[in-house]
Amino acid sequence: MNILGISCYYHDSAACLIKDGQLIAAAQEERFNREKNSQAFPGNAIHYCLQQGDISIYDVDYVGFHEKPFLKFSRVVKEHVRSYPFSFRNFISTMPSWLDEQLIIPLVLKKKIGFNGTVLFVKHHLSHGASSFLVSPFDEAAIISADGIGEWATMVYGYGKANKVKIMKELHYPHSLGLLYSAVTTYLGFRSLRGEGKVMGLAGYGRPSYLDTFKKIVAVKPDGSFRLDRRYFGFNKGSRLYSRKFIRLFGRERRPEDEITERHCDIAATLQHFIEQTLVKVANNVYKDVKMKKLCLAGGVFLNCLANHKILEETPFEEVFIQPAAGDSGGALGAASYIYHVLLGNKRNYKMSHSYYGPEYSYNQIKRAVLNNNLSLRELNSSDLTHYVAKRISEDAIVGWFQGRMEFGPRALGNRSVLANPCNPRIKDILNEKVKHREPFRPYAPAVLEERMHEFFKLKNTSPFMLLAAEVKREKKNLIPGVTHVDGTARVQSVNKKQNFLFWELIKSFEDITGIPMVLNTSFNLHGEPIVCSLHDAIECFKKTHMDLLVMGNFVVEK
């Protein structure tokens, strides 16, 4: 049985293919059309999934969509009416998309990909919850899903058992931690849906000195439920997510070109602290209700690796699972999984242990692409390759590492990565100058051998998807300054030998040379662009930057 899952029309569009319960392929549309956070219909991602599954659209039994469009549309119309006349511009700009595509998904599927079969719609947060629990290693677990907004719900919790998912409680719009985080993100001069990670990094430089001010705009109960005071926000009223009243309370907003001051850092730190403490309260309340030792998290809020680690550390839950595409792209996986397991009643026969479900390229394709671009290359066997690249990293070379199948989700996890030396205290500046051109306050992450992880980081769980930020042990901070944030934490990726042998072997070679069982790992992309997908993308990125090496398969290209 073949089930195609899709998510689109808000941000991070994606598609996946489940074949007899196994995840065969999954990818975001942005990787193909090169539009970051693309909301477009995922036609390219769908075609890739079908090709990877060696099927045609006529072999697809069901298509699952990650939300209920008519239920969402009812909320959109009600909010436009409520906010009129301030919402009129938004109403005019969004209605064509609703009428032409979002309300007629079956017709769109027939027109764009020739699918004329059954389309099933799964509620947004049910898709999120299913995307985590149904592919987790747990037989039963509590579930929390939180993001900006689905149809009406902004946060839900419940549980999963065997092949069933049950939602117990919902919190509805406009009361949303995701929208709160996005509002403050835009107030601090960053773009919504792109800048939230920047705010998380900026928080490390500040103090949570605005907590009393935050209590004026959002009230939190002991169980973690909360209410936003709408007077401070501009949801659906124009181009701003915050109101003039918000500005009077916090001061003048920062424009993108403005200098970042201590005040901005403190507001970011307060926001992060508030989100962490609220989510810990929510998780503790869920534990009391559900009384299960395992927890599955989903939704864009849980791309916040600092908050995820707080939940693991400060609640009774013993293990936490967050699938790598926790944001809206993962909704495609959730919709397809929910159909196969819950609606059709099939037992679970798959556990998500890695994120490598995107396109890959053959030996001949790689060699031809390099030669066609007039690049000189060397071919090495695997053991020579990992030793040579590790040695160059230890000498502070910046390496574009392009291997195997592309990752699903927003993190580069060793197949579409830029690698560097975590021991060099200046490596962040070198990386920013040569390749990334990122804000100086944003940290870089370590990819560490799983078996050595606990020697360096205070972390209970493994972290294969780089979704937990743990404290670096005091005695190790001076050894890895390149991946230790100013607040003493690091966003850890634990690398398992079975999950990605070549990447593990590279890190092991670096350890043999330096004694340090990790490398700095960041995404292979130019600033403002999606992570590279194709050989062409990788080569163009290499040409446009001052990267020292490009490694694709067993081929090494050097400048």
Report the interhelical angle of 262-290 vs 196-203 (nearest 10°).
100
> Is 232 within 8 Å of 214 (Cβ atoms)?
no
C-alpha distances out from residue 58 to 65, 113, 117, 555, Å: 18, 10, 9, 38
**C-alpha closest to that of 505 among 397, 381, 352, 407:** 381
Note the pTM of the prediction, 2 decimals.
0.96
Residues 423 and 529 in one domain: yes
Q: What letter represents residue 457's amino acid?
A: F
> Is 482 within 8 Å of 422 (Cβ atoms)?
yes
Q: Comparing 80 with 335, which gets the higher pLDDT? A: 335
Residues 302 and 438 in one domain: no
**C-alpha closest to that of 436 among 412, 404, 405:** 412
Residue 84 has pLDDT above 80, yes or no: no
Residue 15 has pLDDT above 80, yes or no: yes
Average pLDDT over residues 142-163: 97
**H or E stretch at 228:** strand 226-228
pLDDT in the model for residue 89: 79
β-bridge mates for residue 18, sequence order: 3, 23
* 334 three-class SS: helix
Residues 463 and 440 in one domain: yes
Residues 311 and 382 in one domain: no
pLDDT in the model for residue 282: 98
Whether the ω angle into residue 256 lies within 30 degrees of 0, i.e. cis, is no
* Interatomic CA distance for residues 505 and 270, integer angstroms: 40
pLDDT in the model for residue 237: 66
* Interatomic CA distance for residues 217 and 179, integer angstroms: 13
In a domain, 493, yes or no: yes
**Looking at residue 500, which CATH number applies to its domain?**
3.90.870.20
In a domain, 438, yes or no: yes
In a domain, 285, yes or no: yes
pLDDT in the model for residue 235: 86
In 254-398, which residue ranges form alpha helices assigned H by DSSP?
262-290, 305-314, 330-338, 363-372, 382-394
Diameter over CA atoms, the chain: 67
Residues 298 and 338 in one domain: no
Residue 186 has pLDDT above 90, yes or no: yes
Residues 433 and 473 in one domain: yes
Q: Which tens digits make up the pLDDT trace of 57-75?
A: 999 999 999 999 999 999 9
Q: Of 343, 377, 404, at which residue does a domain stop? A: 343
Q: What letter represents residue 538's amino acid?
A: A
Residues 394 and 339 in one domain: no
Residues 407 and 301 in one domain: no
Average pLDDT over residues 90-98: 83
Strand duo 518-523 + 416-420: pairing: antiparallel
Residue 85 has pLDDT above 80, yes or no: no
CA 390 to chain centre: 27
* Average pLDDT for the chain: 96
Contacting residues for 437 by C-beta, under 8 A, at least 6 apart: 526, 527
Domain of 423 in residue numbering reads as 363-558
In a domain, 349, yes or no: no
> Is 393 within 8 Å of 424 (Cβ atoms)?
no
* Interatomic CA distance for residues 359 and 406, integer angstroms: 6
**C-alpha closest to that of 42 among 59, 25, 61:** 25
Residues constituting the chain: 559
**H or E stretch at 297:** strand 294-298
pLDDT in the model for residue 236: 74
* Domain total of the chain: 3
Tabulate helix, strand, coil % of the chain (nearest 5).
Answer: 40, 20, 40
The phi and psi torsions of 378 (rounded to 5 degrees) equal -125, 145
In 291-329, which residue ranges form alpha helices assigned H by DSSP?
305-314
Residues 399 and 281 in one domain: no
- What share of the chain in percent tops pLDDT 90? 93
Q: Of 343, 373, 406, at which residue does a domain stop? A: 343
> Is 1 within 8 Å of 30 (Cβ atoms)?
no
Per DSSP, which regions of 364-507 are E strands?
A: 378-379, 399-402, 416-420, 445-449, 457-458, 468-472, 489-495
* 447 three-class SS: strand
Residues 367 and 495 in one domain: yes
Q: Of 286, 311, 343, at which residue does a domain stop? A: 343
How crowded is residue 169: how many other Cβ atoms within 10 Å of its Cβ? Answer: 14
**Looking at residue 264, which CATH number applies to its domain?**
3.30.420.40
In a domain, 457, yes or no: yes
Q: Which tens digits make up the pLDDT trace of 522-556?
A: 999 998 999 999 999 999 999 999 999 999 999 99
The phi and psi torsions of 155 (rounded to 5 degrees) equal -150, 140
* Interatomic CA distance for residues 144 and 286, integer angstroms: 8
Q: Which tens digits make up the pLDDT trace of 223-241?
A: 999 999 999 998 876 678 9
pLDDT in the model for residue 381: 95
Average pLDDT over residues 177-192: 97
In a domain, 15, yes or no: yes
The phi and psi torsions of 173 (rounded to 5 degrees) equal -55, 140
In a domain, 233, yes or no: yes
* Interatomic CA distance for residues 224 and 483, integer angstroms: 32
Strand duo 468-472 + 489-495: pairing: antiparallel
Residues 391 and 406 in one domain: yes
Average pLDDT over residues 457-468: 96
Average pLDDT over residues 25-54: 98
* Interatomic CA distance for residues 419 and 388, integer angstroms: 13
Residues 252 and 339 in one domain: no
Residue 215 has pLDDT above 90, yes or no: yes
In a domain, 128, yes or no: no
